[in-house]
Chain A
Amino acid sequence: MTMSHAVISCLHANLAACEAVLADIDQQGIDTITCLGDLVGYGPQPNEVIELVRERSIPTCQGCWDEDIIDGLNACECSYPSQLAERRGHRAHHWAAERITEDNKVFLASLPMTLRRDRLLFVHGSPNSQHEYLLPDMSAFAALERVETAGAETLFCGHTHQPYVRELSEGSIRVSVQTNGNHNDSEQAMTLPMRRIINAGSVGEPRHGSTKATYVVHDDDSGAVSVVKWSTTSPKPVKPSLRRDYPRCSPGV
């Protein structure tokens, strides 16, 4: 029997999507779940999502939105793709900041930046920061540096809302070194280790081209990464009672 665990990220106060994804994970008999943060922001039910994560005792990293709610707007220095997206983000922030209970804010403030299990590292953005985007097309060397410097073999991240699995392998770097007082350049070569980055995408606000929530299942025993899985259940629309004063900034609203 293999030991699989699930990784979820970017829940964004979308309770319906969270419940659907957790049900899907439960159905597979997976009882180890790790969350990569951003429990709040955008969606209409931040307290309910935080409480669901707390009730189920899901180990969770702090996301940039979680930090933003604690430390104030723009604590998150992430760039928005457009001015419209920025206005939407600011409205969502103010709305959520007013409604999240003090107890839940204390919980968000207590979340760690990273979680580690053996050679698996779990972060929201990158090991350096909750705000750094590890996009699938970033320099392969820079991507490898993030994993290697953190002392991990597999790095799980979110933040981009676009799920992917990236394998970095067969790398090497040759260098020539000249130092003061030594006129002969020395040549050196470094063989780079194979490393993986697994982006879990987003449960609450997918941006991969459809509204289906995404998460990842990873096999602990073999170390192999299974294909990113999409929940077969689309998030349910938010109840009309929740729409009353809610800014139009979430899918499903």
Chain B
Amino acid sequence: MARMSTMEQQSQQPVTGTEDTAVVVDGMRTSAITAVDDDGGRPRRRRSGGMGTRTKLLILNAVSIIGGIAIWWLLALNGFQLPTPPEVVEKAVQLWNAGILQEDILASLGRVLAGFLLGSAAAIPVGFLMGWYTVARGLFEPWIQFFRTIPPLALLPLVLVLLGIGEIPKIVVIFLAAFLACVISTYQGVVSVDRTLINAARVLGAKDGTIFARVVVPASTPFILVGMRVGLGSAWATLVAAELLAAQAGLGRRMQEAQIYYDLATIFVGIVLIGILGLVMDRLLLFAETKLTGWQERR
């Protein structure tokens, strides 16, 4: 599968990711924030082939995963300084039994969820305000345009100085990452609501409030969900980096520590877990997206 080309496409225009390749390496997501153009494309439902294509894709996915692990294993056995897959699994079990892994996962998940949920919760109303009221747009836009050109991580030194090394600064940085991705997408969704639909509602007797709730909100939902998915990826990427710098627990922290002791297996456990957790969360959002925006015409 053309993974690379899909990734490039993803980072240029995150809203058109395809179902099976939207979950690219999470690190790629950081670049995605700055890549959401104001005139970015509209979210589209992906074309789904018949059952045949779907099954074929699943088989190819499985082959690809197994093949990848096999290559890793072969490299590890042939002199490369990599732990073998069983060694990584063994390490994971060991860390789990020691209670360390759970603690790390909880710490990381807590941070990501707090930052991501707060970020999305703030982004959606702000995005709506910007799309609906010229005043709000005029006031918010310069700041959002300014901050979206700065990778949230670049603010970490400042945030650390101002807010110390507790939980707050990490959540603030993750919040920013999620907020910026989602706010632009929501705003884009509101301004691209089809005028005809608004007129149709109006001539049927709907007033502004009703039009907002019954037309603008549902019509923007696909954009919001795409923004949330990009925001989530961006939150993960930011999290790990934030933990690398300063944290008591967390997957990023654990990897940082392992680096000092040359503990490659632990680093692998961290990488794999971050990938899997990101994937699971993205799939949950994708599921919500399918449920909420299945009405879209496929083009």
Q: Do A and B bind each other?
A: no
Q: Which residues of A contact B (CB under 8 A)?
A: none
Q: Which residues of B contact A (CB under 8 A)?
A: none
